């Protein structure tokens, strides 16, 4: 059952990613890597939060599989972030890459802390 839920959550994550990307691009069409940056940071925040719930609040590890692997696996996108970084000018691409890395680690840490608070 967990495998099926993980697959369904992955599909839902992919749909959510498309919806968020589309909404951000419609609102701010000139911000090229903005949607992917937002998606990856919010996905990292959610992964951290679920990990915090599992580690500190006694939530079932199945949540990590379904939400972390399934939903966030379909929602976040490392490959698109890399392609976007390469398409940017070299300096901007490096700044975008480093910002994505540091932002995702920070968002995950924040999510872990929030999961600990619950």
Residue 76 annotated as part of some ligand binding site: yes
> Is-contact 44 104, C-beta < 8 A?
yes
| Closest to 66 in 3D by CA, of 4, 110, 114, 117 | 4
Residue 115 annotated as part of some ligand binding site: no
Give the integer Cα–Cα distance in Å for 80 and 12: 18
Q: Which residues are annotated as a binding site for Na(+)?
A: 73, 76
Q: Which residues are annotated as a binding site?
A: 73, 76
């Amino acid at each position: 059952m967990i495998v099926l839920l993980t697959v369904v959550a992955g599909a839902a994550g992919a749909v959510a990613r498309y919806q968020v990307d589309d909404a951000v691009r419609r609102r701010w069409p000139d911000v090229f890597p903005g949607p992917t940056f937002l998606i990856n940071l919010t996905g990292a925040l959610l992964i951290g939060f679920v990990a915090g719930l599992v580690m500190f609040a006694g939530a079932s590890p199945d949540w990590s599989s379904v939400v972390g692997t399934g939903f966030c696996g379909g929602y976040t996108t490392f490959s698109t972030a890399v392609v976007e970084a390469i398409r940017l000018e070299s300096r901007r691409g490096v700044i975008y890459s480093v910002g994505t890395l540091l932002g995702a680690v920070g968002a995950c840490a924040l999510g872990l802390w929030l999961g600990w608070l619950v």
